[in-house]
Structure 1
Amino acid sequence: MTTTSDLYFSSVLSYLALNNVDKHECLAAINFSEFDTLAKGSRVSVAHYQALLQLGESLTGQSLFGFYLGQEIRTADYGVLGYLVESSDTLQNAITALLQYDSLVADIGKAQYLQDHHKASIRWTPYNQLCKQTVLRNMTAWVAVVRKLINPSLTPLQLQLVHTLSEPDCAQLAAWFKCPVKTNCEFNQIDFPLAYLDLHFASDNPMMHQVLKQLSLEQLNQLHSKQTVAQRLLSILMSKTDLLGLNQERIAAALNFTPRTLQRRLQQENTSYALLLDQERKRRCEQLMQKYKLGAVAAELGFNEQSSFNRAFLRWYGCKPSIYKKQLQAQSQISY
């Protein structure tokens, strides 16, 4: 089960309270009144977290609710990771901490660092399909934190989002991020100049950073010890740029299991490698179809034959991929 920290969830309630929305009414509306009785440090399911964000959108009437929420992020909302980032000496080290310990805040997606000769990028891929408010909060909060800790005028090169947004909403995002915003993309990604990596934090505290790093590692180990084998396997699949050439033997080795042991452990969790791979293929499929031709989509998803992809697609969506692609194109034209 993907989760967020109780602090990260609670910060949404605090933001709603500033907008005159009652906390207890919110919890009751999403069938989570027991939140107030949870022990400190408890985890909250992504289902409850998303339900709260969507309720916030409805109650405030803000189509960019997650964007406004992300701007109000505080170091404390990230828990120990927030203070670890704050005590970093450079942005590069802060990003390293973020990539390693992001799941302490929200174990709902995979953050990756990418770099070429012209730019650096942070790409965030949810483990499951998430609402746009969840994505908007994540991407906005990262930029907001860096601006607060280094320089409020820092500007990304580009923001990419997988969701469809209206032109007015895109314009509002572009005005705040101060960079081009692209929607209907394959990834959620922020690009920024390579020179930013060497920028220093005014709150740099080397001794405190080492202490917080050790604490973060301990908390991460505790979180991982509670993860199922299926969750760990899905995390590996999510981290792959494409699914070409993957098989159970390679995944078992990555998990330090033999193929037989992996198969047995997954059976104990009432699942299998084939089912989890199928789940990941379906999760990626629609986004890939918006960008690539069907043959390329099949290859990216790791199908050796187009006919195998067609059969899987028919099982997922109840129609041929060519028909579904035409529907996606028609919806995209209507949106704009």
Structure 2
Amino acid sequence: MIIRDSQISAAYLRGLVDYLTIKRQNTSLFLQQFQISEAVIGEPQQRLPTRLFSAMLEAAGVQLNDDHIGLHVGEQIKPGQYGVLGLSVMNCKTLREAVARHERYERLVCDVGHTTYRLSSDDVILSWDSCSPDLSRHIAEENIASWTTFARWITGAYVSPTLIRFQHSRPSDIREHERLFQCSLEFSCDSIEVHFPSVYLDLPLRQHDPAMLALLDEYADRLLLQLNPEANFSDKVKAALTNLLQAGDISLQKTARTLNLSARALQRRLQEEGCSYQQILDETRRELALRQISDERLDLSEITFFLGFADQSAFQRAFKRWTGRTPGQYRREQELTG
């Protein structure tokens, strides 16, 4: 698989900024070198070239005289850096579910490579496949360090791989690799792999929430659609609205900014597809409501909040307009029909 012009979520820069802060560096000045503002890092939907992140890691390593900058930045991983992917993983029941979510949604964070996993004897092998010219030693080490750190955090256990294989050549000093990973290491390999015991897959996660997981999966699927260049423009607007509904700002202006358009341009492109912004907003809410009302784990107040209604009575009126029934009536009828 060949990937060119790969991108990362701007929120993924947070680990680098946090590490520079710990090292008492002027982060604003550092970001200015790359024409990035700290406000951009708070926007998970903003995308930046992976080669820019690679250049930033290199520059930070030189500035700090840190030959292991990728490892150290990866150790600073926080759930917010992974955006909806991180939140989805956190709310899974087991590490097995978390690995599957990572494989499914990782493009939301970075598309420089693609993760697959397979069972081999008593081990699980996570492979990170990339032929991208944007992949550097520091990006590879940052990625694997963040995986390891995040797995320890969500399980509440100091889990370690049994073997890690890197494609780049062996650094002159690997003591930091040994400290962090606590496992066998191989370099100059054909692919990047993380091996760990298969029993880890059944480890329970600390913040399992099935109701929240259902909402996050819905959200993540919408965002994947938004990343698809072949999708209709109205579908991309729906994907953006799914995000903005949860954030509480569904104005035309905010939606247009999310899609890097003016409000007038957004309206014009929707008109070209025979629809309006209000129609798309209404359709998005309706589709989400019908899916969520079928999930008995979600109460009506949670659905009201997720869909961005001011109060439950506003949601009740909209739902009756869509279906001719109140949410409660619709849910009871579904229960009776089974």
Tell me the TM-score normalized by structure 1: 0.63
Alignment deviations for residues 249-307 of structure 1 (CA, whole Å, 9 cap, x no partner):
xxxxxxxxxxxxxxxxxxxxxxxxxxxxxxxxxxxxxxxxxxxxxxxxxxxxxxxxxxx
* Match for residue 55 of structure 1 among 59, 73, 82: 59
Using a 3 Å threshold, how does the CA distance of structure 1 residues 90 and 38 change in structure 2: closer, same or farther?
Answer: closer
Q: Is the CA contact 1:9–1:44 (under 8 Å) kept in the aligned structure 2?
A: no
Q: Is the CA contact 2:19–2:72 (under 8 Å) kept in the aligned structure 1?
A: no
Aligned to 1:131: 136
* 1:195 and 2:199 correspond: yes
Identity of aligned residues (%): 21
CA apart distance, 1:37: 6.4
CA apart distance, 1:72: 1.2
Aligned to 2:224: 220
Q: Is the CA contact 2:163–2:196 (under 8 Å) kept in the aligned structure 1?
A: yes
User: Equivalent residue of 2:228, what SS?
Assistant: helix
CA apart distance, 1:38: 8.7
Q: Is the CA contact 1:110–1:127 (under 8 Å) kept in the aligned structure 2?
A: no
In structure 1, how many angstroms separate the alpha carbons of the residues matched to 2:105 and 2:131? 16
Residue type of the partner of 1:142?
W
User: Map of 1:188-267 to 2, 5 A cutoff?
Assistant: 188-225=192-229
- Structure 2 residue runs without a partner (length 5+): 232-338
CA apart distance, 1:168: 2.3
Alignment deviations for residues 296-320 of structure 1 (CA, whole Å, 9 cap, x no partner):
xxxxxxxxxxxxxxxxxxxxxxxxx
- Structure 1 residue runs without a partner (length 5+): 228-336
User: Map of 1:294-305 to 2, 5 A cutoff?
Assistant: none
In structure 1, how many angstroms separate the alpha carbons of the residues matched to 2:9 and 2:99? 20
In structure 2, how many angstroms separate the alpha carbons of the residues matched to 1:20 and 1:39? 21
* Match for residue 179 of structure 1 among 176, 183, 187: 183
Q: Is the CA contact 2:40–2:46 (under 8 Å) kept in the aligned structure 1?
A: no
* 1:86 and 2:97 correspond: no
Using a 3 Å threshold, how does the CA distance of structure 1 residues 35 and 198 change in structure 2: closer, same or farther?
Answer: same
User: Equivalent residue of 2:204, what SS?
Assistant: coil
| The structure with more radius of gyration | 2
In structure 1, how many angstroms separate the alpha carbons of the residues matched to 2:146 and 2:36? 27
Aligned Cα root-mean-square deviation (Å)? 2.0
In structure 2, how many angstroms separate the alpha carbons of the residues matched to 1:157 and 1:197? 14
In structure 1, how many angstroms separate the alpha carbons of the residues matched to 2:194 and 2:74? 15
In structure 1, how many angstroms separate the alpha carbons of the residues matched to 2:108 and 2:79? 13
Q: Is the CA contact 1:109–1:126 (under 8 Å) kept in the aligned structure 2?
A: yes
Using a 3 Å threshold, how does the CA distance of structure 1 residues 39 and 201 change in structure 2: closer, same or farther?
Answer: closer
* Match for residue 111 of structure 2 among 76, 99, 107: 107
Tell me the TM-score normalized by structure 2: 0.63
Aligned to 1:25: 29
